[in-house]
Amino acid sequence: MRTPQSKSAAFVAFALAAVVCGALGAPPPINGLVGQNSLSPPDRAHVRTYAEFYCNQLAAGDIPTAEEAKQQLLDPLRSPVISGYFRLEYSKVLVENLAAAIDGDKPHAAVNAMYLIGSLGTERALEVIKDHIDAQKEDCFELRLWAAKAFQMIAEADQLDPNDLNPLLRQLGIACRNETEPLVLRRQFEAIASVDSPVARDVLLDAISKKLDELKAQAQPSRLMDAIYPAIVRLRGQFLNHRLNAAEQQVFGKQAANLLYKVFEVGSAHWNIIQADEKTRHEFRSYKGAIGVAESFLKTIDRTVRAAEPPRTQLITAWENIDKPRFDQEHRNWADVLAGPPYNGR
């Protein structure tokens, strides 16, 4: 978590640097260097001067100036001829300056800096992100949201070995447990789901499952279901991924089935409050969406994992008709199925 002292110090340093750079004028572009596989000392100095100048503009300027600085910093990264060598060298300079902007006093600058961090696609960038993804360390929810987005950008850029993402993937899973903002939690789930690996699937399953446990233990319904509902849709897409072999699909299906059952439990726990009137049903409409997709997904899993015709339940119909006895009965039908093989390990 950033302290007022650290933020003030970072801002003063950037403000002073911006005055100096402004007096010297904008440095020439570095587009001619982006395809190089080595840089001379003068070229390195040119890259550093360019990066520092626009990072200072980003951190200390007004919003139009900051937006222009962001574009200038992004241009080299978007070059179709950029070399891996240049990306790493540019990243070294940018990371230290952008990290200071993130810790500064201007939210607009901090968000722009985090976006640029995500655009780098390097291990150094991951080091910055890890300090801003968890509510226990970062109190600004916009920065937590953009830190998750930055991770997703790096993952989807496919510049790193998948194993390099695993430590931060697991940290994102922990961050989900601490998150209370639905928009941030949704972005965190999306970030985890953007990685196509067994580790990412396990992290996502565990994160959603623990969040459902949290909701089930609460007396009041939660808008966090707004994040859980689309995450379940993503789980369904992963289960249907053609790259999963039969054994992987069996394991994944059994894990997901028990998670999906928890959606019904949460719906039952919060039934009376949500179903009290039309306004509340609309406010918590993500419950209906989650129950509907969980039921259809569970039937898809059951056909694959148990190789049998799944129960012909209509939990979503019971929810729409505000038919609690039927909902509870359909709920129990699935409990019986999941208590038997192969879901129970036998």
Say what the alpha-carbon torsion angle 178, 180, 183, 186 is, to the nearest 10 degrees: 40
pLDDT of residue 308: 87
* b/e sequence 275-296, b meaning 16+ C-beta within 10 Å: beeeeebeebebbbbbbbbbbe
Do 289 and 266 touch, CB atoms closer than 8 A? no
- Dist CA 49 CA 54 (whole Å): 9
Q: Chunked in runs of 10, what are the mean pLDDT values of the chain (346 residues)?
A: 44 38 72 95 96 92 89 94 94 92 88 95 92 95 96 93 94 97 98 95 97 97 98 95 88 94 98 97 98 97 92 96 96 94 81
pLDDT of residue 60: 84
Q: 125, 119, 17, 123: which is closest to 77 by C-alpha?
A: 119
pLDDT of residue 9: 40
Q: 253, 229, 248, 243: which is closest to 302 by C-alpha?
A: 253
Rg (C-alpha) for the chain, rounded Å, is 24
Q: Which residues contact 276 (CB under 8 A, 6 or more apart)?
A: none
- Dist CA 260 CA 298 (whole Å): 7
- Dist CA 54 CA 56 (whole Å): 5
- CB-based burial label for 107 (10 Å; 0-12, 13-18, 19+): exposed
pLDDT of residue 346: 52
The tokens for 145 are: 């949201």
Instruction: Using a cut of 0.85, tell me whether the model's pTM lies above it.
Output: yes
pLDDT of residue 289: 98
Do 25 and 73 touch, CB atoms closer than 8 A? no
Rounded to 5 degrees, φ, ψ at 80 are: -70, -15
Do 113 and 101 touch, CB atoms closer than 8 A? yes
Say what the alpha-carbon torsion angle 35, 40, 45, 47 is, to the nearest 10 degrees: 0
